[in-house]
Amino acid sequence: MTARKSWIWAAALVMSGAILGGWLVANEKLLRSTLKIAQSAITTNDAHAQNSQEPLVSPTEARERDFYAPNSETLRPDEMRVIACGTGMPTPRPAQGAACFLVELGNGEKFLFDIGEGSVERLFGLQIPTAFLDKVFIGHLHGDHFGDIGALYVAGGIAGRFTPLRIWGPSGATPELGTAAAIDAMEKMFAWDLAGRLGQTDVRGFATDVTEFDYKKVQVVYEENGVTIKSFPAIHAIDGSVSYRLEWNGLSFVFSSDTYPNKWFIEEAKDADLVVHEAFIAVPDLVARYGLTPEAALQVGTQIHTAPEAFGKVMSNLKPRLAVAYHFWTGIDSTPGVFERIRTTYDGPLSLAQDYMVWNVTKDEIRTRMTFLDHESWNPPVAYAAEPVDPDDLVGYSPLIEAGRWDVDDVLRPIYQEASEALGREFPYPEN
C-alpha cells in the first residue's frame, strides 16, 4: 500500500507541474505584467524608505579632503604644516627635486630647510607669495642641498619679494668653504642679471642677508616671534655640515640635512614631533641603478650618508611621534627596498617622503597627505606693492647695439595706446 501511495503522489505532482507549466506558457504576458507591478512596488517602497532618511553626506556641500590643495586651508594658530619640496638624489629627475622642506607655522612664519635643485619650481607650484619665502636654512653646501638658492634669489625677486633674501648656513673649515663665501659668489654670478633689470623693474629683492655661524657649536641661530631654531654639527663629506631643530608653540621639527648617524643628532632630536632624516638609497640600487662601483656604493651609501638600516636604528632610539625618511628615489622599484631595510631596525610611525607630501602637526595628531596642484599655475600672488623705478638707473645699450634695432614701432605704439585707454593714464611711447 505504501509503495502504491508514493507512486500516486509522484504522478499527481508531475501532472500538477505539467498543468502549471502549461498555464505559465499560455499566460506569459500576464505573468510578466504581474512581476513588473510587484517589482515597481518594491522599488517604490525602497525609494520612500531611503528618502525618509537623512543622507550621510551632503549632495552639495564640500567634504573634507584626503589630499592637500594649495591655498585651500587656513592654518590654525596652533598648527604646523610641513611640505616636502624636494626629497630626491643629487642628480635631478622630473619626479623629484633635491632636498627642501618648507615649514609653515600658525603665526604666519615660514622657513625653508635646504633648497636643492628643482625645489623652487615646487615652491612656486604651492602659490605662496615669495615675500613670505624669505628665510632659508642651509645644512651644507652640496648642490643638491643649496643648488636652487640662485633660482629663489632671482625668481623670488622678480615675483614679489622686495626685501633681501635671508640665509643662514654653516661656516667651513676655511673661509672660502663657508656659506658667506658661497652666497657672495652667487650674487657675483648674477651681476649681469641684476644690471639688466635696473631702472626697469623693482629690484629691491635682489639682495641677501647672510648669517654664517660656527658649524662646530650646538647653538641657537634664530629666535624671533616665538620661534627658536638651533643648529648642531653633522658628519657629512667634510667639516661644515649641520642639522637643525625648530621649536614653536610646543611643537618641534628636526631636519638632518645630510649626515652620518651622530651623537649630536641623538641628543638634539629627543622628544621631537616630526623628525626628518636622510635614509639614502640602498647600496644594491646604487650599484645596479645609480651606476656606482661596489666600492663607491658602500662608501657613499653607508659612510657618507645614513643607510636605511642605520636610519631605523636612530629612530628606534629617538622614538619620535613621526619619523620621516628622505633622500632616495621613490618608485615601485626602489621604495620597497628602503622600507624593508628600515623595518629591520625600526617598527614605529614612519613616512617615506615624496615630493609634495604634507604633514599637518598639532599636539593632538599628525596628519599625512599628498598635495594636488595646478601644474600650469602662473606666478604666486604678490603680497606687497612694487615701487616705481628710477629711469636714471637704466644701464641701457652701447651705441653699437642700439643701432641694431629694427623698426617695429608701427605694431608697438598701439600696445601703449591700448594700455593708456584701459588704465586711464598716459603711457608715452619711448623714443629711442
pLDDT in tens, 114-149: 999 999 999 999 999 999 999 999 999 999 999 999
In one-letter notation, the amino acid at residue 15 is: M
**Domains along the chain with CATH numbers:** 80-370 (3.60.15.10), 397-432 (no CATH)
Q: Are 358 and 371 in contact (CB under 8 A)?
A: yes
56-64: which pairs have CB atoms within 8 A and are 24 or more residues apart?
none
**Cross-strand bridge partners of residue 371:** 68
Nearest to 138 by CA among 126, 152, 154, 149: 149
Nearest to 144 by CA among 100, 187, 113: 100
Q: Give the predicted TM-score (pTM) of the model.
A: 0.87
Query: Which three three-digit cell numbers place residue 235?
Result: 658628519
Q: What is the mean pLDDT of residues 326-355?
A: 96
Neighbours of 426 (CB within 10 A): 9
* pLDDT exceeds cutoff 50 at 261: yes
pLDDT at res. 333: 86
Q: Which residue has the cell 498543468?
A: 19
pLDDT mean over 31-39: 53
Residue that wins the pLDDT comparison between 384 and 38: 384
Per-residue buried b or exposed e for 147-167, using 16+ beta carbons within 10 Å of the residue's own CB: bbbbbbbbbbbbbbbbebbeb
Question: How many C-beta atoms lie closer than 10 Å to residue 217's C-beta?
Answer: 15
Angle, helices 179-189/149-158, rounded to nearest 10 degrees: 50
